[in-house]
């Protein structure tokens, strides 16, 4: 059946829909545009335009020079990059190793294990017991305290389990007939067929690590081990840090408002994760949908 030509009412509806979507898109993008513009607008330009220049006639990257001249941002960026890369790899490794056997219905004790795992989504040990466990394992003031406590997320585990259940059982049985054990079947057969769900879970875990804040203030007291979001919080709440960073680069006091330092910090902490998303976007929707076909 072919679609006929659009009527006037159809065209009006299309115009309205595109207009509404365009306005929503602009409303979504404007905060980011505001932050970027404020981070590169000189002080004189900001004052001349009453606090915000939509299209500044002059731009300066002094704010970015200031934050990278300070040891705070490079060190916290290093810490966050380490926990994001190492943490995501370990998250995926342990999540897949647990999800695969749970997806096999012939596994002894499978229902009990699933019940105990799902139970943790409703009830958890609480803040103080979790802190005491981390302390007893000697993880305080360690990068591992930002990785190990959240090694497996129950929600991601269930998505991976459901995805594995939807894979062809015949292919896995054929691999076992050819002599593959369970680990070989997982590595040689299941993993290559699971790129979509691995990319999806990898994105979930990476964003979570990149935005790590609560664990940073709970388990870390050494400023050299603070993740990026903790430094960003300090920048936004303590104006003196902005002035301190400005003073580290000669001549910034007269050329740059302290507010620009904070906006530059927001851009520097946001852009890296935004650059990663387009590379996994094609797997994202597919992975979530395939992992949610059945429970």
pLDDT in tens, 197-225: 888 888 889 888 988 888 888 898 888 88
What gap in Å lies between CA 53 and CA 59, rounded to an integer?
Answer: 11
E strands within 37-92?
none
Cα gap 114→111, rounded to integer Å: 5
- The pLDDT-based confidence of 265 (bands split at 50, 70, 90) is confident
Rounded distance between C-alpha atoms, residue 204 and residue 288, angstroms: 11
Q: Name the pLDDT band for 282 (thresholds 50, 70, 90).
A: low
Q: What is the full DSSP assignment across 139-189?
A: -TTSGGGGTGGGSS-HHHHHHHHHHHHTS-HHHHHHHHHTT--HHHHIIII
Q: The CATH number of 64-295 is which of 1.10.1060.10, 1.10.3720.10, 1.10.274.10, 3.40.50.300?
A: 1.10.3720.10
**pTM for this structure?**
0.77
The per-residue pLDDT for 20 is: 93
Check: CB of residue 145 under 8 Å from CB of residue 139.
yes
Higher pLDDT among residues 242 and 30, named by residue: 30
User: Using an 8 Å Cβ cutoff, are 211 and 294 in contact?
Assistant: no
What's the whole-number mean pLDDT along residues 135-146? 90
92 — alpha (psi -120 to 50), left (phi > 0) or beta?
alpha
Asked if 121 and 155 touch (Cβ cutoff 8 Å), the reply is yes
């Amino acid at each position: 059946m072919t679609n006929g030509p659009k009527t006037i009412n159809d065209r009006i509806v299309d115009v309205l829909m595109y207009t509404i979507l365009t306005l929503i898109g602009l409303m979504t993008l404007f905060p980011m545009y505001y932050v970027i513009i404020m981070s590169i607008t000189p002080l004189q330009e900001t004052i001349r335009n009453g606090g915000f220049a939509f299209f500044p006639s002059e731009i300066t990257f002094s704010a970015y020079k200031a934050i990278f001249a300070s040891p705070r941002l490079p060190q916290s960026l290093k810490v966050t990059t380490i926990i994001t890369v190492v943490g995501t790899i370990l998250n995926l490794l342990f999540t897949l190793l647990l999800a695969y056997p749970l997806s096999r219905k012939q596994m002894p004790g499978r229902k009990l294990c699933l019940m105990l795992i799902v139970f943790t989504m409703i009830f958890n040990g609480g803040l103080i017991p979790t802190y005491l466990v981390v302390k007893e394992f000697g993880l305080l003031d360690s990068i591992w305290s930002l990785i190990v406590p959240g090694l497996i997320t129950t929600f991601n585990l269930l998505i991976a389990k459901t995805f594995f259940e939807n894979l062809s059982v015949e292919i896995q049985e054929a691999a076992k007939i050819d002599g593959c054990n369970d680990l070989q079947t997982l590595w040689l057969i299941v993993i290559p067929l699971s790129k979509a769900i691995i990319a999806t879970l990898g994105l979930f875990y990476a964003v979570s690590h990149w935005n790590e804040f609560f664990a940073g203030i709970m388990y870390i007291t050494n400023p050299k081990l603070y993740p990026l979001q903790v430094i960003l919080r300090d920048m936004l709440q303590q104006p003196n840090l902005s002035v301190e960073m400005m003073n580290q680069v000669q001549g910034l006091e007269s050329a740059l408002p302290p507010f620009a330092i904070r906006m530059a910090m927001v851009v520097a902490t946001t852009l890296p994760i935004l650059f990663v998303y387009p590379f996994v976007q094609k797997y994202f929707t597919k992975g979530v949908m395939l992992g949610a076909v059945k429970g």
